[in-house]
Amino acid sequence: MEKDRKQNSITIAVTADLHLLANRLHDTGEAFLRMHDNGDGKQMKNGTRIIHQMLSDIRELNPDALLIAGDLTLNGERASHEEITEQLRIIREQGISVYVLPGNHDIGRPDAKGYFEDQVFSVPTITEREFAALYEEFGYGQAISRDPNSLSYVAKLSDENWLFCLDNCCRINGVPEHYGELSEDTMTWLFEMLKKAREIGVFPIVAGHYNLAYHNKVFKYGFTMRNYDEVGELLRKYNTVLYLSGHMHMQHMKFQSGIVDIATSSPATYPHQFGVLQMEHGNKAYYQTQMIRMDRAEREGFRWFYQNKFKWQVLNELEHKSNLTKEEKERMADFAAKMNLFYFSGHFYMLEAELGNSEEWALWIEKGNDIFFYSYLKSMIYDSMRNHNIYTDLIREK
């Protein structure tokens, strides 16, 4: 059932970095738990359940479209892609269009693995061609244009908006590199499509897995696409002021040269949310995050897990510092984990007042200023003190 696309207002649910591992690829045994505990704080143990809940919340919200900006799977396992497409089909059957683009963890991964008992073993990944075939119903089959040089495409969201899904993941011989970039050929195709959009008076909404802006000076290499200035210049020239990305797992908005890059956090990471973008008359945008429904105690448990993961990393770095007592190290690590948690959830502005009076932060400045974590924590303070969970703006006067 297709929805009426001639309406003045359209709603798009936005997510990225699901990093789902198919249930049939693990037994929650020793090898899996080791991978989970050594990870970056993602809820791998409850990953499938959280993603199912998010998709159920999205069905209830009933938007016009769902955009998934890459990294659908943990490491490109074919079985994980198949499990996701089964779920996406249910969304599609409700009349919600689904648009998917690839992330650096979705295709040609040599580290696609299964985890049973204490064994880790290789499982099949997928090729670029297979990605487009698997997601035929979720963007590639609905495209009004596909880039012959990459997995980028353009789809019609409404009479007033086209969605540009850019494949800005660099792959050499089908294997992903650790950076994002748009090739010269893809830039030529993008230029042609942006020109067409302007000719018929539709506004582009552009999405890609890698970021367009430098969100944080510590997250530079490997996060922002390499030729961001060239891409940004082209997009701006053709009326683009909204870019949707992922990859950092952090909820963050950055204005750079007239374009806002909204990076949506990973649903697998605390506070477990997705974005909702509403476009009115094609040129007015409202974006707000929505928490995935879950029990309060469960979310608290996930917060504890995420916060502790970071705390132990900091404690590890502080271990060699002889100018600090054990108690000081403990307090500094606790506070650093709190800062990181607020920063990643896009709510760091809430800590601004507390920072000024914090004894722990004073300790960092006085005695912890020579370790890496200090520069990272300091970078948060120089970031914009805004709520990164809400955005509203008039994109362009008609």
Pairing between β-strand 259-263 and β-strand 169-172 as defined by DSSP bridges? unpaired
Among 71, 83, 160, 261, binds Fe ion (CB under 5 A): 71
Pairing between β-strand 390-394 and β-strand 119-122 as defined by DSSP bridges? unpaired
Q: Of 46-54, 136-144, 239-247, 344-352, which part binds Fe ion (CB under 5 A)?
A: 239-247
**Quick check: 42 binds Fe ion (CB under 5 A)?**
no
Whether the Cβ atoms of residue 126 and residue 189 lie closer than 8 Å to each other: no
**Quick check: 108 binds Fe ion (CB under 5 A)?**
no
Q: Of 65-73, 125-133, 269-277, 373-381, which part binds Fe ion (CB under 5 A)?
A: 65-73
Residue 73 or 161: which CB sits closer to Fe ion? 73
Among 46, 97, 104, 161, binds Fe ion (CB under 5 A): 104
Residue 43 or 161: which CB sits closer to Fe ion? 43
What type of residue sits at position 232? Answer: G
CB nearest Fe ion: which residue? 247
Q: CB of 7: closest distance to Fe ion in angstroms?
A: 33
Q: Of 4-12, 28-36, 70-78, 221-229, which part binds Fe ion (CB under 5 A)?
A: 70-78
Q: CB of 105: closest distance to Fe ion in angstroms?
A: 6
Cis previous bond, 271, omega within 30: yes
Q: CB of 104: closest distance to Fe ion in angstroms?
A: 5
Where b means 16+ CB within 10 Å and e means fewer, 323-338 reads ebeeebbebbbbbbbb
Ramachandran quadrant class, 196 (left: phi over 0; alpha: psi -120 to 50; beta: rest)? alpha
Ramachandran quadrant class, 249 (left: phi over 0; alpha: psi -120 to 50; beta: rest)? left
**Quick check: 247 binds Fe ion (CB under 5 A)?**
yes
Residue 26 or 42: which CB sits closer to Fe ion? 42
Residue 64 or 71: which CB sits closer to Fe ion? 71
Calpha distance 318→395 (Å, rounded): 46
Retrieve residue 349's tokens. Answer: 């502005």
Calpha distance 104→248 (Å, rounded): 12
Instruction: Point out which residues bind Fe ion (CB under 5 A).
Output: 71, 103-104, 247
